[in-house]
Amino acid sequence: MSNERQTTHFGFERVSTGEKIRRVMGVFSSVAEKYDLMNDLMSAGLHRLWKRQMIARTRVRAGSLALDVAAGSGDIATGLLGKMGAAGRVVLTDLNGPMLREGARRMIDAGFLPGRADCVQADGTRLPFADNTFDALTIAFGIRNFVDVEAGLAEFLRVLKPGGQFVCLEFSRPVLPLLDIAYDAYSFNLIPALGEFVTGDRESYQYLVESIRRFPDQGRFAKMIRGVGFELVKYENMSGGIVAIHRGYKV
């Protein structure tokens, strides 16, 4: 079926898959320049701790080759490169040109590009890499935006080497009593208003909170990861389940 006839969700709306891709790209083109600032404001800096934990959980060492999908402004790639020593390399991919440009700028500033980092514009569900290429594959706050999450996961499995590790940081479901109520009130009332104030774009931040609610919870997402063939899949909650890190291996 064509992209214009198949439907999916965009936040709480139902749209064609083609329309979802256009709208998601519109969201990230619109917020690219203020993306880092908004992350700090919305999470009160917590996203840095979550990402640090994700990097700590990623098994890379000197000489590893890692792929960071939906890399955006490059926080995860920067952390991985810091861990891998001079012989390590990271490929950053993102479907959105303006977001990837922010990432490339950061790689140049840090002295990683050229040589230790490459930036490749690509859809995470159709990666332009050979089978069995990477030692580790990371994705932070990206897979929630995919039209077909399972197709993305299967693609990640394909490009990882046997023994390679998949690590995903994503918004999830609060598991502490009352946290869900406070979190809903904060997300639906404050985040779109903050987005409008800082970036002039309320709709993009409304999409952000709705897309978080649409994404599968910790257990369902772990099942999807196992379903495409990853093994030794587990997850850990952070900040009471507001986010979770899922890990798995290609065996």
Q: Which residues bind ligand SAM (CB under 6 A)?
A: 24, 28, 69-73, 75-76, 94-96, 99, 123-125, 140-142, 145-146
Per residue, the 3-state secondary structure of 92-138, as one string, reads EEECCHHHHHHHHHHHHHCCCCCCCEEEEECCCCCCCCCCCCEEEEE
Nearest approach, Cβ of 38 to ligand SAM (angstroms)?
10
Nearest approach, Cβ of 177 to ligand SAM (angstroms)?
28
Nearest approach, Cβ of 148 to ligand SAM (angstroms)?
9
Nearest approach, Cβ of 14 to ligand SAM (angstroms)?
18
Q: What is the CA radius of gyration of the chain?
A: 17
Nearer to ligand SAM by C-beta: 80 or 163? Answer: 80
Nearer to ligand SAM by C-beta: 64 or 145? Answer: 145
Nearer to ligand SAM by C-beta: 67 or 84? Answer: 67
Nearer to ligand SAM by C-beta: 24 or 191? Answer: 24
Residue in this structure with the two tokens 């939906």, named with its chain if needed = 70
d(CA 174, CA 244): 10
d(CA 127, CA 124): 6
Nearer to ligand SAM by C-beta: 120 or 179? Answer: 120
d(CA 64, CA 61): 6
Q: What distance separates the 2 farthest-apart alpha carbons in the chain?
A: 48
Nearest approach, Cβ of 175 to ligand SAM (angstroms)?
22
DSSP secondary structure letter of residue 33: G
